[in-house]
Amino acid sequence: MENKKLIVPDEIVISKIYYIRDQKVMLDSDLAELYGIQTKRLNEQVNRNIDRFPEDFMFRLNEEEFQHLRSQFATSRWGGRRALPLVFTEHGVLMLSSVLNSKQAIEVNIQVMRIFTRIRQMLADNTEIRLEVEKIKNKLDNQDKNMEIVFKYLDELLEKQNQPKPPRKRIGFKPDDL
């Protein structure tokens, strides 16, 4: 197997994945940069093939989302954009590979897909860990309740033991009764 050199370090790709509208997405400008093309060219190809990009593959940020995203960066302007950016979900990024045919775009797309898969696997692993921790917490809670009951009974037994015992009536043959 040929050892391929990565075009872009994984850390850079990962840093360009955002969580917007409960989805992992990438900005058009970031994808264009990774693919080595202008954002304008990427958007032209998307517009020419708009039927391939339903809303669950790609959507345009609203002003509030865009301002929130910009506030996370130190720059005051973001390339003088005239329109709000498009963002692509994992499926949208995958679809981009069918409309962008450069070798770099294809290789970067494969890399991005692998990273999305790794992120999904990490989330699944974390979910399993959270479920296991929850099970352990429930067991400990139950054990705490059981221990409380045991200590309550022990306290009751100790209280009974410390109370003076009333004199018991003797039963059976009593030599004094003769």
Q: Which of 33-37, 55-59, 159-163, 173-177 has the lowest mean pLDDT?
A: 173-177
pTM: 0.59
Domain ranges within the chain, ordered by starting residue: 10-128
Q: What is the pLDDT of residues 8-52, one digit of tens each?
A: 778 888 888 898 998 889 999 999 988 888 999 999 999 999 999
Q: What CATH class is the domain 10-128?
A: alpha beta
Average pLDDT of the residues in 102-119:
82
Cα–Cα distance for residue pair 158/174, rounded to 1 Å: 33
Number of Cβ within a 10 Å radius of residue 109: 20
Please write the tens of the pLDDT for every residue from 72-103: 765 545 556 778 899 999 889 888 888 887 77
- Measured CA to CA, the distance from residue 27 to residue 83 in angstroms comes to 13
